[in-house]
A and B are shown apart, each in its own frame.
With several copies, the nearest count.
Chain A
């Protein structure tokens, strides 16, 4: 399942619903991304996440489908927020459930790596020197590329 929303999410409730009652699940892996109060050396007051409605949902659904092709998952979930977020606030949740821990852990990592380079979101940071668009990191491409070779 994928969701794109302005509101916060409850990690415990989301994980409890994931594959609820499926007793073939041996492992649940999750990753939560949070707004940091620093970007390099500069303090951040807040950030605004812009996205491309329509394409965002399409790409997230594709990424989730690809994870389910590569691994035998009982359930998977991507929740990504947009709008203005302050330091400490949750941005994104990815979670996977599988009979086996390897599948859960690997696919969780795949989802967040792939999402970072494929899903059309852009971060605008508010700093003391004004607002600025975050530049993409080469390390994100590198993290995503390791999944291409496989």
Chain B
């Protein structure tokens, strides 16, 4: 599974992209974020406040109950500020 980080999530995690293999019990976006937060202090800091983390799976906005599967592209980023 590919995980992408943008804006300040990228800065805090320390990388823009990583390939991860979460345990079999991780089946939803919420579960994935819980697991990612355990990967280190940068990840924990980036994911401390879930209210300001948006998630896209395969480039579509999704909520915490959305399923995640091996091979998915999961992107984590703050609310967008373009335009």
Residues of chain A touching chain B, judged by Cβ–Cβ distance below 8 Å, are 33, 49-52, 54-55, 58-59, 80, 91-92, 101, 112, 115-124, 133-137, 140
Contact = CB atoms under 8 A, between A and B. Distances in A.
A55 B59 contact: yes
Interface of B: 4, 6-8, 56, 59, 61, 75, 77-83
Given A55-B59, A55-B75, A133 B7 contact: yes
B56 A134 contact: no
Contacts of A118: 61, 80
A122 B6 contact: yes
A52 B82 contact: no
A66 to B, nearest CB: 14
A55 B8 contact: no
Contacts of B4: 52
B6 A120 contact: yes
B9 to A, nearest CB: 10
A50 B6 contact: yes
Nearest to B59: A55
Nearest to A56: B82
21 contacts: A33-B83, A49-B82, A52-B6, A52-B59, A52-B75, A54-B59, A55-B56, A80-B82, A112-B83, A116-B80, A117-B80, A119-B83, A120-B6, A120-B56, A122-B6, A122-B78, A122-B80, A133-B7, A133-B8, A135-B79, A136-B81
Given A52-B6, A122-B6, A133-B7, A116 B75 contact: no
Contacts of B6: 50, 52, 120, 122
Contact of A121 (B59, B61, B75, B82): B82
Given A54-B59, A55-B59, A123 B77 contact: no
Contacts of A91: 82-83
Contacts of B82: 49, 51, 80, 91-92, 115-116, 119-123
A14 to B, nearest CB: 17
